[in-house]
Chains A and B, each alone.
Chain A
Amino acid sequence: MSPEVIGLLGMITLLGLFLLKVPVSVSLIIVGTVGLAMIRGWETAFVQLGSTPFSVASSYSLSVIPLFILMGMFLSYSRFGNDLYRAVDAWIGHVRGGLAITTIGTSALFSSISGSVNATTATMARIALPEMNKYRYDSTLSTACVAAGGTLGILIPPSVILVLYGILTMEPIGKLLIAGILPGLLQMVLFIIVIYVIAFRNPSLAPVTERKPFQEKVKSLNSVWPFALLFLLSIGGIYKGFFTPTEAGGLGAFGAFILAVVTRRLSWQYFKASLNETTRLTAMIFFILIGAEIFSKFLALSRIPVATTQYVGNLNMSPMVILSFILIVYFILGLFLEGLAIFVLTLPVVYPLITLLGFDGIWFGVVMVLVMNIGLITPPLGLSVYIISGVAKDIPVQRIFKGVIPMLFMMILCLIVIVIFPQIVTLLPDFMQE
């Protein structure tokens, strides 16, 4: 069998193992090791299996992941999100659809310290849903806002998934993180517009709340500064070139810890929970990366990435057509597979192709995240929707899925805008200091 055929069979087997519920990490390790053995023999395969795990887990650039997750966990468990919600509500809660818009705004702000969709969605569901319920917001709209807002978590830095993209493609992590800012803001604005239109057309879905006195508005800003400070310290430090992403993560986590302790919001129980959840999430991500490393070595030896790029290069088709095809495939994969699984399964083949076609690697990372976000709120997988359903048990999942349809259109619109105007992604990274 030629290496290419072995590579192709490996990819099909990997997909089969995924669908059989074998964990993504273990599937990658099995297929990667057996594939390496078939191409280069068992000795080479076992040497890889013995040496790759620790070298991946002890990679300095990867240690940014637990530190950024920890920063988000400390602030999430310290209930800073509740104050943030009240602050945004004080300023814009009284406009039409105000609480729903507040949910999107708070999600964007919370995303600036949280790098995961799960953390942002779960936190916002706990904070925003009871509040919107109190003011008789329609549950279809309220849950849709939380689901849509949660997806900002992996666009606005720090984004764990963009860090992983950087690790898998060797694109600079600092630039990738900064690249997510403008698309994140654009998506936020589009969500706000669609909510306003929905509320304007059917005011009963989102009753107007009372206007807060000016003093209360000013006072509410007190709760925004920790987020602003930590964001400026960590992401600002990366942008200005003061720190590496890992250093920014360490400082951010330390700052969040000090804030939580000084304000007496972090009980011993929450402290332990923050650490426990961070280490478990880190272990899950790193184990996938270990598998991904072994699998990508196998795929590289199979020459599939080279063969694919050569084949597509000879097609004589417009890069935009090929890109559209790739994005459609990603959209379909996103309906059924976890974002991380899609990354590790496809990036070794797709990334070289994308760069060969002349697209910017950083831009493509953001585009991938946008496409994956669509999968997060679309059935059957729709992870964000199920997180909300776990918090709001009385709201049927179908109703949440129905509610997110307008948000879905906005996400597709955002994706199209970013494909047409890649400068939205590349502008800030281009200004960064090396």
Chain B
Amino acid sequence: MVKIVQITEVFLNRVVRLQQFISNSLLLFMMTIVTVDVIGRNFFNQPLKGTFEMTELSAGILVFFALAMTHRYREHISIDFIVEKLSKRTKLVLDGAIEFVISITLIVMATHMFKNAVRVMHRKMTTIDLHIVIYPFLYVASFAIVIFALVALLNAIKYWLAAVNDL
């Protein structure tokens, strides 16, 4: 069991790091296009076509790709002043349960985001200026949520294993 957890963790770490790299790149891309657009519009009377929608789509993917890494760094806000008072083992069991609830919630969310992507694909929805098809971004976002769910599930298993070892 421990071996499987370790192998899965190595794999997930790689995926999550790649996602973070893409997120970072998109952030730089957003910063650049917004600047080029503002300078072009104000000084050369030539705005960058499609800045609005490129910023929107970039921000969407940036967020979903950074979620799993944020979770790995335990940076999703939670309120712990009551739970901190529990015993170490109870805390481990509870932390595992919370991670499990997170992973189930995310799996349900990813499923319905995927279904939404299928609906958008059938409607052939595109952006207004550049006519970029939207559904691939939605598929990518659902995939990112699945990765986030797996990170949470792995955390749950690790907490429960630690609780068992603490017996």
Q: Which residues of B contact A278 (CB under 8 A)?
A: 27
Contact of B112 with A242 in the complex, beta carbons under 8 Å: no
Q: Which residues of B contact A427 (CB under 8 A)?
A: none
B30 part of interface (Cβ distance < 8 Å): yes
Contact of B79 with A53 in the complex, beta carbons under 8 Å: no
Contact of A54 with B141 in the complex, beta carbons under 8 Å: yes
Task: Please give me the residue from chain B that is nearest to A74 by CB atom.
Answer: B31
Contact of B27 with A23 in the complex, beta carbons under 8 Å: no
A283 part of interface (Cβ distance < 8 Å): yes
Q: Which residues of B contact A288 (CB under 8 A)?
A: 77
Bits for B75-115, please: 1 = Cβ < 8 Å to A, else 0.
Answer: 11111111100000000001100100110010011011111
- When chains A and B are docked, how far (Å) is the Cα of A251 from the Cα of B40? 12
Q: Which residues of A contact B161 (CB under 8 A)?
A: none
Q: Which residues of B contact A58 (CB under 8 A)?
A: 56-57, 59-60, 137
- Chain B interface size range: 35 or more
Q: Which residues of B contact A21 (CB under 8 A)?
A: 78-80, 82-83, 94-95, 98
- When chains A and B are docked, how far (Å) is the Cα of A24 from the Cα of B80? 11
A253 part of interface (Cβ distance < 8 Å): yes
- When chains A and B are docked, how far (Å) is the Cα of A21 from the Cα of B92? 12
Q: Which residues of A contact B67 (CB under 8 A)?
A: 283, 287
Bits for B127-157, please: 1 = Cβ < 8 Å to A, else 0.
Answer: 0000000000110010001000000000000
| Residue among A18, A66, A337 with max Cβ neighbours from chain B (10 Å) | A66
Q: Which residues of A contact B102 (CB under 8 A)?
A: 22-23, 26
- When chains A and B are docked, how far (Å) is the Cα of A278 from the Cα of B66? 10
A131 part of interface (Cβ distance < 8 Å): no
Contact of A63 with B59 in the complex, beta carbons under 8 Å: yes
Contact of B83 with A63 in the complex, beta carbons under 8 Å: no
**Given known contacts A22-B98, A59-B56, is B113 in contact with A280 (CB within 8 Å)?**
no
Contact of B79 with A18 in the complex, beta carbons under 8 Å: yes
A47 part of interface (Cβ distance < 8 Å): yes
A32: min CB distance to chain B, Å: 11
A5 part of interface (Cβ distance < 8 Å): no
A51 part of interface (Cβ distance < 8 Å): yes
> Which A212-248 residues have C-beta < 8 A from chain B?
242-243, 246-247
B29: min CB distance to chain A, Å: 11
- When chains A and B are docked, how far (Å) is the Cα of A51 from the Cα of B112? 8
Contact of B112 with A49 in the complex, beta carbons under 8 Å: yes
Contact of A60 with B31 in the complex, beta carbons under 8 Å: no
Bits for A282-311, please: 1 = Cβ < 8 Å to B, else 0.
Answer: 111011100000000000000000000000
A342: min CB distance to chain B, Å: 11
Contact of A67 with B38 in the complex, beta carbons under 8 Å: no
B24 part of interface (Cβ distance < 8 Å): yes
Contact of B69 with A337 in the complex, beta carbons under 8 Å: no
Contact of A275 with B28 in the complex, beta carbons under 8 Å: yes
Contact of A250 with B24 in the complex, beta carbons under 8 Å: no
List 7 tightest A-B contacts by C-beta distance, closest first. A250-B34, A58-B60, A50-B112, A50-B116, A283-B66, A275-B24, A279-B66
24 CB < 8 A contacts A-B: A21-B80, A21-B98, A22-B78, A23-B76, A24-B79, A26-B101, A30-B101, A46-B108, A49-B109, A50-B115, A54-B137, A57-B63, A60-B59, A63-B59, A70-B31, A242-B42, A247-B37, A250-B31, A250-B38, A279-B27, A281-B75, A282-B66, A283-B70, A287-B70
